[in-house]
Amino acid sequence: MSWVPPDLSQSCQAGSNITTCQPSTFLFLQLVSNLFGQSKDAVERQDHHTDLEDFIFGDKFFENVAAGGANREDNAYDFIVVGAGSAGCVVANRLSEIRQWKVLLLEAGGDEPDVTGVPAFPPMLQGSSIDWGYTTEPQQYNCLRRREQRCNWPRGKVMGGSSAINYMIYLRGSPEDFNEWESMGNKGWSYDDVLPYFKKSEDNHDAEAQNTFFHGTEGYLSIERFPFQDTNVNMSIRAYQELGLKIVDQNTDEQIGVMLLQQTVKNGERQSTNTAFIRPIRQKRKNLKIETNTYVSRILINPDTKIAYGVEYFKNNKVFMVTARKEVILSAGTFNSPKTLMLSGIGPSSHLNEMNIKIIQDLQVGYNLQDHSTLDGVIIALNNTATSVSDEERERDIRQYIQNHNGPLSATGTLQIDALVQTRYENSLDRPDIQLLLDTTNVQNFINDPILTSETNVLPLAYYDGLMLRPVLLSPESRGVVKLNTSDPVFGPPRIFSNTFRERIDVLRIVEGIRQGLNLLKTQAYRSIGANLVTNKLPGCEPFIYGSDEYWECLMRSYTGTLHHQVGTCKMGPIDDKEAVVNPELKVHGIKNLRVIDASVMPKVVRGNTNAAVIMIAEKGSDMIKNDWLHHKN
**Residue from 565, 589, 631, 632 carrying the catalytic annotation:** 565
Annotated binding residue 43: no
Strand, coil or helix: what is 430? coil
Q: What is the pLDDT of residues 302-330, one digit of tens each?
A: 999 999 999 999 999 999 999 999 999 99
Strand, coil or helix: what is 452? helix
Tell me which residue of 88, 81, 162, 20 sits closest to 457, measured CA to CA.
20
Task: Provide φ and ψ at 111, rounded to 5°.
Answer: -65, 150
Contact at 8 Å (CB) between 617 and 333? no
- Indicate the DSSP class of residue 436: E
Give the distance from CA 593 to its chain's centroid. Answer: 26
**pLDDT, average across residues 119-144:** 98
DSSP calls for 84-109 = -STTHHHHHHHHTTSTT--EEEE-SS
215 is catalytic: no
What is the 3-class SS of 351-386, one letter each residue? HHHHCCCCCCEECCCCCCEECCEEECCCEEECCCCC
Q: What is the pLDDT of residues 516-554, one digit of tens each?
A: 999 999 999 999 999 999 999 999 999 999 999 999 999
Q: What is the pLDDT of residues 563-600, one digit of tens each?
A: 999 999 999 999 999 999 999 999 999 999 999 999 99
Confidence band, pLDDT 50/70/90 cuts, at residue 139: very high
Residue 504: CB atoms within 10 Å: 11
Q: How far apart are CA 170 and CA 224, in angstroms?
A: 9
Tell me which residue of 255, 265, 257 sits closest to 237, measured CA to CA.
257
Q: Domains in the chain, please, with CATH?
A: 47-112+158-223+271-365+565-634 (3.50.50.60), 226-260+373-562 (3.30.560.10)
Annotated binding residue 115: no
**The pLDDT of residue 48 is above 50:** no
pTM of this structure = 0.95
Residue 148: CB atoms within 10 Å: 9
Tell me which residue of 172, 167, 154, 404 sits closest to 270, measured CA to CA.
167
- Indicate the DSSP class of residue 138: P
